[in-house]
Structure 1
Amino acid sequence: MSEQVWISEARNETVFELLERRLDTDPESEYLDVCGTKLTAAAVASVANRLANAFAALGVRSGDRVATLIENSPEATLAWWGAVRSGAIAVPINTAYKGEYLRHQLADSGSRVLVVEAALVERVARIAGSVPSLEHVVVIGDEVAEAPVGPVAHAWADLLAGDDDPPEVTVRPADVATFIYTGGTTGPSKGCMLSHNYHGTLARQIGVCWRRTADDVVWTPLPLFHFNAIVTAVLGPLVYGGRAAIERRFSVSRFWPEMNRVGATVTSTLGTMAYLLAHDVDRPEMPRSGGPEANATLRLIGAAPLPVEVGSILEARFDVSTFSGAYGVTEASLISWQPLGVENKPNAAGVVNDEHFDVRIFDDDDLEQPRGTEGEIVIRPKRPHTMFEGYWGRPEATVETSRNWWYHTGDVGRIDDEGYLFFVDRKADYLRRRGENISSFEVERILMGHGALADVAVHAVPSDLTEDDLKVTATLSEGAALTEEVLFRWCVDELPYFALPRYIEFRPELPLSPVGRVLKRDLRSEGVTPSTWDAEAAGIEYERR
């Protein structure tokens, strides 16, 4: 247990230094397998240098933002490396985003360059004219599609044709490497500014929890626009040695063949994925199947959230360990964890990470609560640049969350007498669905643009897959003729697939507090009522990207 208030001897380094260390010790062995394409550290460094020099030729300077809209692929990995190698800030954008969701993140980040796969260029064309900062669009594909309105279009292949001399840029561990946007409830999503040093810190923390070594092969289907895949797969092998594999997306039927193909020892997945694996049909590639294809490499399935009962099924059925004993937020790496010598308690999120943070439980007046009492989880760092550097362009939000100089996570938890942290609930009114944070504010704002709704509340209802399902409860404008199915189909064109409501219910009025606020807690407790329309039961199909 560390009682130090500030640890000055903490390691600080950039992601370049992580890559350079691999280049010095192991440049030519396999570093990454991205959707079946194998990459060495030397190959990644060469392409990163070419892209960095090409971005510089487009006018990108240190601190400028380079956005990406790319599904998991070698190009997504290399585009991130090229951006940070140039001294710019990478802004990976969720590939489900379209319309206002996409426009907001491009405009808010002030991105000057966007790298996009050809299949998604049409989405960019719809909003490019309303993003003043966007000057260049780089298209990945055999041919450059028709240029969006405003920006100049370039072919990805042309950017790769330049020289691979290392660019002359100076980057410090404190400099920002990546913006990761996190859902908000009282306003649009905010860009978390994450430093170079933060990247390596989180990679180390997760590796400690997994007991990661150079013998491990970490496999993940999580998207590279989520920070987990960047730190565990892209940076983890640079910190611990070994290699990693990134799959385009998760498939239950392909999971065990993939484990065999790459020789995976550790997986980084979501709780929903683990649930599906636990309840999958028998397959010959599963451990203990008795067949020659039975997997014998996987030792650990990491997933969050992971209910105890699901973890027990995985362990008993597949003879593997499971891990979900940690708690973190985008703004602050791992706040609780499982360091060496610590075994987790049922339903706990590990022990307080007092090597990196001072963690307390506060009430609504910022008074510290005794052990065992529920309240908001608040933290202070003990080491430099192990937290975010603030919210991009929103100093007032940064100050508000750092009230009384403690970062307020917005989550409710408790710490027991032995230092174990238990996550209880979210204070803020946002949802988590299929691994995605969803801002109810943003969805409500877009729904109100339909024109036929008088009022709307977006809220969670319990899901069979361990997280939330989304429900829209709304009132119609006077004289409006609108069905739930028509509204849903409109949403398909306006919302990311993961933010589409499974349930819709029209009511004469919404429950309101004395000051006129919608009582979402009442709507959540009512859940799916007899008059609720269900998109899954209606059999409506839509593209999940």
Structure 2
Amino acid sequence: AAAEHDIVAIMYTSGTTGPSKGVRVAHAQAFTYAQHAGEAMQLAEGDVYFAPLPLFHIAGQWALVYACFQVGATAIVRRRFSAGEFWSTVRESGARVSFLLGAMANFLARQEPKPDDVDNPMERMLVVPLINDVDDFRRRFGVRVCTCYGSTEVNVPLISDYEVTEPGIAGRPVPGFDIRIVDENDRDVPVGAVGELVVRSSEPWLLATEYHRNPEASLRLFRNLWLHTGDAFRKDAHENYFFVDRIKDYIRRRGENISSFEVEREVNAHPAVLECAAVAVKSASTEDDLKVVVVLKSGMTMEPDELREFLRPRVPRFMVPDIVEVITELPKTPTGKIQKHLLR
């Protein structure tokens, strides 16, 4: 029989910041990842759970299928996400639970409203990351929404409740995980300050064991006895943790650190924008220039200066982009995450 420390799979990362890495995952990590994802959604026996996530990815294989095995729920599997077909699949299958990853929830929210949007059986949705205007999303579709933070390496150490509203929030620590936010020397930063999220577990084998055939990356992952996520976070006085950015996606401009995540949130609020990505590009002077790559809604047009004028009253001056590029489609991984390294 398999033991908890035996390797169940080599799961590959999404490859949003560079080449994918193979993560050697023990049975204990796979089991608890599925368990925590199910707990976040309050998944129960008899539930019908639809998540349009690929089965080669941890979210599809564990947060969907494995989680259903654990509690006796039904998993609805589809080959890919389609905003136009999502709600018809929900109605046909009777799905009451869903997990939306990356841009999926944003695509649903930015479709034209229909009179029967609320006429569906969906009850509970795990949305990662949490979208803007989540309360409007709840009212429009008649659903409860929660969020969490997890990855191939780190399990699911942060989960929110269903009352969450603030954009950027990732949740509170899950029992069994120690969480810190540290500076470049692995010292704790003050409450409210931004640093790297580092994690360790109270039980063995709940985190990635190593990167497959990549000892250099494995050494960088585990430093000073903590797993380094590569994600910038901050927390408030109530132990709410907020995702700020991938550290590799952080932008340094005019002496200021800029979160690409925050820039994208404001750009996506423009009525003509379907989705976008903010990246740093080399500047002719110093530090970085800020580039925003935009996909427009069907039939819409927008000039770069129009977007800048829209942003000026909403963001600090240093967050108004130097470069605005309009394209037809963003490069993405099979799980729907934007491959920003291809846009720089």
TM over 0.5: yes
The answer for unaligned runs of 5 or more in structure 1 is 1-169, 288-293, 432-458, 474-508, 514-518
Residue deviations 1:144-196 (CA, integer Å, cap 9, x gap):
xxxxxxxxxxxxxxxxxxxxxxxxxx432212222222256997431111112
Residue in 2 that maps onto 1:384: 204
Q: 1:312 to 1:271 in 2, by over 3 A?
A: farther
Partner Cα separation in structure 1 for residue 45 and residue 7 of structure 2: 28
Looking at structure 1, the residues matched to 17 and 95 of structure 2 have their Cα atoms a distance apart, in angstroms, of 41
When normalised by structure 1's length, the TM-score is 0.48
Cα offset, 1:466, TM superposition: 8.2
| Counterpart contact for 1:237–1:244, Cα < 8 Å | yes
* Pairing 1:181–2:2 present: no
Establish whether residue 404 from structure 1 lines up as the match of residue 224 from structure 2: yes
Q: Distance in 2 between matches of 1:232 and 1:185?
A: 20
Alignment of 1:119-138 (within 5 A): none
In 2: Cα distance, 1:331 partner to 1:282 partner: 38
Shift in Å, 1:283:
4.6
Q: How far is 1:377 from its partner?
A: 0.9
* SS of equivalent to 2:25: strand
Cα distance in 2 for residues equivalent to 1:262 and 1:367: 50
Could you tell me which of 150, 153, 157 is aligned with 1:331?
153
The superposition leaves residues 12-69 of structure 1 with CA deviations (integer Å, 9 ceiling, x where unpaired) of xxxxxxxxxxxxxxxxxxxxxxxxxxxxxxxxxxxxxxxxxxxxxxxxxxxxxxxxxx
Query: Residue 139 of structure 2: which of 316, 337, 347 is its match?
Result: 316
Task: Give the whole-Å Cα distance in 2 for the aligned partners of 1:184 and 1:286.
Answer: 34
Task: Tell me, yes or no, if the aligned pair for 2:47 and 2:74 is still in contact at 8 Å.
Answer: yes
Aligned residue type for 2:10 = F
Q: Indicate whether 1:232 and 2:63 are aligned.
A: yes
Contact kept? 1:272, 1:466, Cα under 8 Å: no
Q: Answer 1 or 2: which has greater strand percent.
A: 2
Q: Residues 295-315 of structure 1, C-alpha deviation per residue, up to 9 Å, x if partnerless? A: 2x2101222122241x21221
Q: Is residue 361–residue 369 contact of structure 1 (8 Å, CA) maintained in 2?
A: yes
**Partner-residue secondary structure (3-state), 1:371:** coil
Give the distance between the partners of 2:92 and 2:16, measured in 1 at CA: 42
Matched-pair contact (CA < 8 Å) for 1:271–1:466: no
CA deviation after TM superposition for structure 1 residue 205, in Å: 0.4
CA 1:466–1:420: 2 relative to 1, 3 Å: farther
Contact 1:183 1:430 in 2 (8 A): no
Structure 2 residues without counterparts, runs of 5 or longer: 252-259, 293-318, 335-344
* C-alpha distance 333-314 of structure 1, shift in aligned 2 (>3 A): same
Residue 173 of structure 2 corresponds to: 352
SS in 2 for 1:360: strand
Q: Which amino acid aligns with 1:334?
A: V
Corresponding residue number in structure 1 for 2:128: 304
Could you tell me which amino acid in structure 2 is paired with residue 333 of structure 1? N
- Going from structure 1 to structure 2, the CA distance change for 1:282 and 1:401 (only over 3 Å counts) comes to closer
Q: Return closer, same or farther for 1:249/1:528 CA change in 2, 3 Å cut-off.
A: farther
What is residue 194 of structure 1 aligned with on the other side?
A: 25
The amino acid that maps onto 1:364 is: E
Alignment match, 1:420: 240
State the identity as a percent: 31
Q: Taking structure 1 as reference, are residues 371 and 429 closer, same or farther at Cα in structure 2, changes over 3 Å only? A: closer
Root-mean-square deviation over aligned CA pairs: 3.3
SS at the partner of 2:191?
coil
* TM-score with structure 2 setting the length: 0.73
CA distance in structure 2 between the partners assigned to 1:410 and 1:467 by the alignment: 24
Measured in 2, the distance between the counterparts of 1:189 and 1:272 equals 20
Q: Larger deviation: 264-273 or 194-203?
A: 264-273
CA separation in 1, counterparts of 2:16 and 2:63? 28
Please give the alpha-carbon distance, in whole angstroms, between the structure 2 residues aligned to 1:274 and 1:522: 26
Is the counterpart of residue 374 in structure 1 residue 194 in structure 2? yes
CA contact (8 A) 2:280 2:289 kept: no
Deviation at 1:417, TM superposition (A): 2.1
- Distance in 1 (CA, whole Å) between partners of 2:125 and 2:166 is 17
Of the two structures, which has the highest relative contact order with CA contacts closer than 8 Å and spacing of 6 or more?
Answer: 2
Q: 1:275 Cα shift?
A: 2.2
Contact 1:271 1:306 (8 Å CA) reproduced: no
Q: State how far apart, in whole Å, the 2-side matches of 1:430 and 1:370 are.
A: 20
Q: Which has the larger radius of gyration?
A: 1
Q: Aligned pair in 2 of structure 1 residues 187, 254: CA closer, same or farther (>3 Å)?
A: closer
Decide whether aligned partners of structure 1 residues 176 and 466 sit closer, same or farther in structure 2, where only a CA change above 3 A counts: farther
Between the two proteins, the alignment pairs up a number of residues equal to: 291
For each residue in 1:101-145, what CA deviation from the matched residue of structure 2 results, as whole angstroms up to 9, or x when unmatched?
Answer: xxxxxxxxxxxxxxxxxxxxxxxxxxxxxxxxxxxxxxxxxxxxx
Structure (1/2) with the larger helix percentage:
1
Counterpart CA distance in 2 for 1:217 and 1:185 is: 31
- The answer to whether 1:286 aligns with 2:117 is yes
